[in-house]
Structure 1
Amino acid sequence: MDKIQLFLEEIKQIISKLESKNVLKITGLGFFGFTLIYCGKIWYAQKLFKRLGLKTPKYRFFYGNLPEVLEQTQSNTLRKWTKEFGKTYGYYEGHLPIIVTSDIDFINEVFIKQYSNFMARKIYPWQFSDNSPKMDLFLSSNKRWKRMRNIINPTFSPSKLKELIPIMNKCTQRFLDILDKNLDEELIISDFLNRYTMDTIWNSATGMDIDCQSNIDNEYMHKALDVFKDLEHLKFGFRVTTYFDEFRPFILHLMTIITFLMGKINSSNEFVDPLFWLTQNIHEIIEKRKKENILRRDFTQLLIESKIDDNETFKTNEKIELSKFRLDREMSFEEIEFNLVGFLLAGFETTSSALNYSFFILANHPNELKKLQEELDEFYLNNGNSLDLNFDNISQLEYLDMFIKEVLRMYPISSNTVNRRCMFATEINGLKIPAGVSVTVDVLSIHYDAEIWGPVDPEEFYPLRFSPDIKRSSSVYLPFGIGPRNCVGMRYALMEMKMALAKILFKYDVLSTEKTPKKFTKFTEGTVRRPKDIVTIKLTKRS
């Protein structure tokens, strides 16, 4: 009997070993088969432009053209490719197909005439999915975008901007007080501009006065700067989501969980993802506003008032017309949070960078400084010896308006965000575009096109090319995008820039120093295009 039991035990062990080997074999074969199929999918995806008959730069399997884009910045790379392949061509980010165009007719079709077929931006590495609640206005698509845009638009109406003038004046005066203490010294002007724009945008968005201009170690500002650094260098996690796009939502959720756990394990903020930190703080601000019934007429309040009940769920039929979408005036709690974060980040870095370019121009073009100051002096005299700027009278500063437009022509801030994703297969100028393919505009090639911006050389700074008597298509000037999905905060940004420049230039002269760059040679580009060169200037009081 013992021998029989021993024999049976030996048989079980043999079967167990065989089963283990089979499991390993099946697992190995399954993984190999999946890898083969996935590689086949990538190979097929990277043949799309060949099937469409579009030229492409040389790309690598799996990586596509992304390494070259990241190394040289997207805007510069697209401009180089446009010279080589013409006005419309394609490239691959991993295996995601991107059509690039600087053809104005093509742009008008995509962004205006057929915009209902392109109601989404291209897929970004940090984007969960089209239906994710973790989406702000910038990333949302279709009906979700339409609903958010309807809610947010009133925030940037002329009447609302008028209400923000006192906030802008208060923050601008702080800026002037700080500059007064640093006259006749070499200034890295971007450091001061970062604090000024963060102070202004945070006050406008939340009604909270963090006065980050006086406190150079303000945590909100440093976290915001860290967000843009992460986007510029496309940290490892985001690179993975680009190359493995099909698994992007899963990878992002995993990154979110890891970030949350790291925050719990480590009580300090040193290792906490900056975007996660900002979102958590915005969450606490909204909760406090609700709990204590704090009412302020700011961006936060407008979104809170439009919020739906957290337990309410809804579904929509994709065939329903946008105008019939039931929840056209409501936003979820998460949408409020992410839109506030998006507004703070967009309004902070873009305006700061635009002003940084402006001071670079002023330091190198004293004649432009003189023209602006003459206009400000005339405005001062015509307004009863007052420089009391508001939404209505600032339009009298016509040369300042042309100056800013020329700055943004030569140095568009967010040129790599002027893109759309095809949601429904369509045809543009004979080119059949499948759903899921993105179209991005080569803004630099358009902004430096001599046929459009001549006869004065587009490489030369010349504000008079924006004289009212010169007529051009609105599609050739793209610092704020084009069409229904253009930048919703455009009026706010221009108002803030004009306010700052007018009050500073009326009071100070802007001088170059030995360290002031004469030309920008290299740029960094995440969502914002910034020079690597440090702009150093000197401010002196006007005589």
Structure 2
Amino acid sequence: MLDYVKLQSEEIFKIYEIAPCYALVLNSRTIIYLGVITVEIAFIYLLIVIVSMKTYLILKKNQGSFTEKTFQVHKQLLVALWLQCLVPFVLMFIPLICCIGFVVLNIPGVKADVRQYEYPISHVLRDWTKQYGPVYGIMEGWKKTWVISDPKTAHEMLVKKFEYFHGRKPDPLMGNVDKAERMNLFSSRGARWKRLRTISSSSFNINNLKKIYPTVDDSCLKLMDFVDKAYEEGKPFNIHPYFHELTMDVIMRVAMGQRDSKLFDNPYVGLMNEFSFRVETSLLKKFALIIPPLGWFFRLLYLLYLSMTNNYMKSLLTELTIAVRERKKLKASGELQSNSERVDFIDLFIDAEDPTVKDGEFEKTGIRVLKKMTEAEIVGNCFIFLIAGFDTTANTLGVTCHFLAKHPEVQERVFEEIQDVVMDEKITFEKVSELKYMDVVMKEVLRMFPIAAFAASRECMYTTTLGDCKIEAGENVNVDVLTLHYNKEIWGENADEFVPERFFDFTAEQQMIYYPFGGGPRTCIGMRLAYLEEKLALYYILKKYRIVRTPESEKAPKMVGRNIESPESIIVKLEKR
């Protein structure tokens, strides 16, 4: 049985008794942080010891002034003080020594921080898979994480054994996802996930997508006013930010209660860019990974930091809470129904509100699901819809424009399909569904550039096996999506090439390893809305313009990001048809 991977030096492994791994997710900066904090604690501890010893000497000198019992009590208090101060020092000092030991002794497997902005984690895992094979292990702090790229094993985890892997890979600063007051569909698990999923699913059914279609269409039409201005300037430009404006406009209008379009005048775009592009893996999160028993403490520090500072997370949650409560007031007064025929996601969630809802044990089938949620869960779901709806769709549109410019023959075929299907009529919801070639173009883009590959990660809830490997409860499993999406045994020898037509013959084996929206029962719930936005945006742009390459255009998209991947820029030029 393959139990993680074998170290190059079994002797070193035996000495340190560390689970066999090739990668320790700690970088030199984290070691420096640990060192500084350890030195600070050691200095404070030393001062306390000095003061305590001086106090003890004074007590001993004046022992005649105290009864023996009083003197012993003072002595015990001083010893207790030393021990209490020693605990945090030891907790910080031991991991520091281990980390430094890994580096100094050059133990195989010490790597850089995998969450580098300039080189996303999906690319790191693909590189390691080439070196270490289809199943291997890494250590995230002291947490075991398996990395798999075997098609059958990945399918087994995401689909066949879903009841063992129904929880996503947890964030140590999120706390207990089963009990936390403000939880969302993405991070929840078990019975709570099933309840939130059941409620949210109705938001994305065909009937509701038809209701919000006019809003999406209107935002795409208004985007064209800005695209026209870019064309009139006659210069190459970065088209990617235009799609960020579009996706934010759509999600704010269909999910957050925004009444009118605010393209290029929406403060949330700046906040979300900060969230997506500039936020590093927090120091507190690294400490929580390194010292799991103190995870609760670092979470408290994190919440304290959020409450005392002006930051994007606090601003977003505050705005969403206000929007939800204002919406509840409008619905309660009847004012909303008289002023609007449109129903958005907030309305659907508010209709299901129940502050007393509780969850039972999770079962794969047969569980009775209450279609209720608390106000905190409403805010949490709106928050995750905002994040998911903003970046992933915009990034996919940006990369699609790159490939259309690079492959003009594909672009012309998409345009011909638009002419054949829509002709001179107004595009409708039904007509969008008939754009089949546009469908396969977007699917091929997502095969080559899965924007949210991190979503195919899970936590093992109960000890089980995947293939020949025993996975213990509490261990994480990452699917190496990039390796699967470029597997030449399944996709053919042209797997490295952009060939949309391959999806006209989408085999069962290919479907089993295609994870641009995650996989199994936890496949992204907003997939239909994403496709709708993308197809409408491309329809309006390609109907009027050709997207062409320029000398400034990228040879290939430079992808960056720590979780969701984004192209740094997509430089193109527009030519009128």
Output the TM-score relative to the length of structure 1.
0.85
> Deviation of residue 260 (structure 1)?
1.9
Q: Distance in 1 between matches of 2:221 and 2:442?
A: 21
**Could you tell which deviates more after superposition, 70-79 or 132-141?**
70-79
Q: Residue in 2 aligned with 1:191?
A: 241
Q: Distance in 1 between matches of 2:304 and 2:88?
A: 27
Q: Distance in 2 between matches of 1:279 and 1:481?
A: 26
Q: Residue in 1 aligned with 2:398?
A: 356
**Structure 2 CA distance for partners of 1:246 and 1:304, relative to 1, 3 Å:** farther
| Alignment deviations for residues 309-354 of structure 1 (CA, whole Å, 9 cap, x no partner) | x3x26463x37776444x6211111111010010011001000100
Aligned counterpart for 2:472 among listed residues 431, 434, 454: 434
Q: Residue in 1 aligned with 2:56?
A: none
> Deviation of residue 14 (structure 1)?
11
Q: Distance in 2 between matches of 1:58 and 1:454?
A: 35
**1:491-510 correspondence to structure 2 within 5 Å:** 491-510=528-547
Q: Distance in 1 between matches of 2:69 and 2:572?
A: 80
Q: Residue in 1 aligned with 2:352?
A: 306
Aligned counterpart for 1:474 among listed residues 490, 505, 511: 511
Q: Residue in 2 aligned with 1:292?
A: 330
**Structure 2 CA distance for partners of 1:190 and 1:281, relative to 1, 3 Å:** same
> Deviation of residue 212 (structure 1)?
3.0
> Deviation of residue 528 (structure 1)?
0.7
**Structure 2 CA distance for partners of 1:441 and 1:321, relative to 1, 3 Å:** closer
**Structure 2 CA distance for partners of 1:373 and 1:33, relative to 1, 3 Å:** same
> Deviation of residue 474 (structure 1)?
1.6
**1:83-232 correspondence to structure 2 within 5 Å:** 83-131=130-178, 132-183=180-231, 184-209=234-259, 211-215=261-265, 218-231=266-279
**SS in structure 2 at match of 1:194:** helix
The answer as to 2:575 corresponding to 1:540 is yes
Q: Distance in 1 between matches of 2:373 and 2:518?
A: 24
Q: Residue in 1 aligned with 2:314?
A: 276
The answer as to 2:65 corresponding to 1:11 is yes
CA contact (8 A) 1:203 1:209 kept: yes
Q: Distance in 2 between matches of 1:199 and 1:13?
A: 77
| AA in 2 matched with 1:91 | I
> Deviation of residue 130 (structure 1)?
2.2
**Could you tell which deviates more after superposition, 7-16 or 444-453?**
7-16
CA contact (8 A) 1:118 1:420 kept: yes
Aligned counterpart for 1:519 among listed residues 537, 556, 560: 556
Q: Distance in 1 between matches of 2:370 and 2:453?
A: 30
CA contact (8 A) 2:317 2:379 kept: yes
Figure out how many residues of one structure are paired with residues of the other and give that number.
497
| Alignment deviations for residues 67-121 of structure 1 (CA, whole Å, 9 cap, x no partner) | 2453742111111111111111111111111111111111122111110111100
> Deviation of residue 289 (structure 1)?
1.0
CA contact (8 A) 1:42 1:95 kept: no
**SS in structure 1 at match of 2:574:** strand
**SS in structure 1 at match of 2:572:** strand
Q: Distance in 2 between matches of 1:221 and 1:416?
A: 22
**1:311-350 correspondence to structure 2 within 5 Å:** 312=356, 314=358, 316=360, 318=361, 323-325=366-368, 328-350=370-392
The answer as to 2:577 corresponding to 1:531 is no
**Structure 2 CA distance for partners of 1:485 and 1:29, relative to 1, 3 Å:** same
| AA in 1 matched with 2:537 | A
The answer as to 2:418 corresponding to 1:379 is no
**Structure 2 CA distance for partners of 1:364 and 1:288, relative to 1, 3 Å:** same
Aligned counterpart for 1:73 among listed residues 120, 142, 146: 120
CA contact (8 A) 2:140 2:289 kept: yes
CA contact (8 A) 1:508 1:541 kept: yes
> Deviation of residue 255 (structure 1)?
2.2
**1:372-411 correspondence to structure 2 within 5 Å:** 372-381=414-423, 385-390=424-429, 392-411=430-449
| Alignment deviations for residues 163-209 of structure 1 (CA, whole Å, 9 cap, x no partner) | 11100110000011111122123221112111111001111102313
| AA in 1 matched with 2:408 | P
| AA in 2 matched with 1:461 | F
CA contact (8 A) 2:137 2:146 kept: yes
**SS in structure 1 at match of 2:521:** coil
CA contact (8 A) 1:199 1:209 kept: no
**SS in structure 2 at match of 1:539:** strand
| Alignment deviations for residues 185-242 of structure 1 (CA, whole Å, 9 cap, x no partner) | 3221112111111001111102313533142xx31111111111354x2133333333
- The CA RMSD measured in Å over matched residues stands at 2.8
Output the TM-score relative to the length of structure 2.
0.80
| AA in 2 matched with 1:229 | F
**Structure 2 CA distance for partners of 1:321 and 1:447, relative to 1, 3 Å:** closer
> Deviation of residue 389 (structure 1)?
3.1
**SS in structure 2 at match of 1:109:** helix
> Deviation of residue 274 (structure 1)?
0.5
CA contact (8 A) 1:130 1:141 kept: yes
Q: Distance in 1 between matches of 2:123 and 2:379?
A: 34
Q: Distance in 2 between matches of 1:66 and 1:129?
A: 29
> Deviation of residue 28 (structure 1)?
3.8
| AA in 1 matched with 2:344 | D
**SS in structure 2 at match of 1:495:** helix
> Deviation of residue 503 (structure 1)?
1.5
The answer as to 2:455 corresponding to 1:417 is yes
**1:237-252 correspondence to structure 2 within 5 Å:** 237-252=284-299
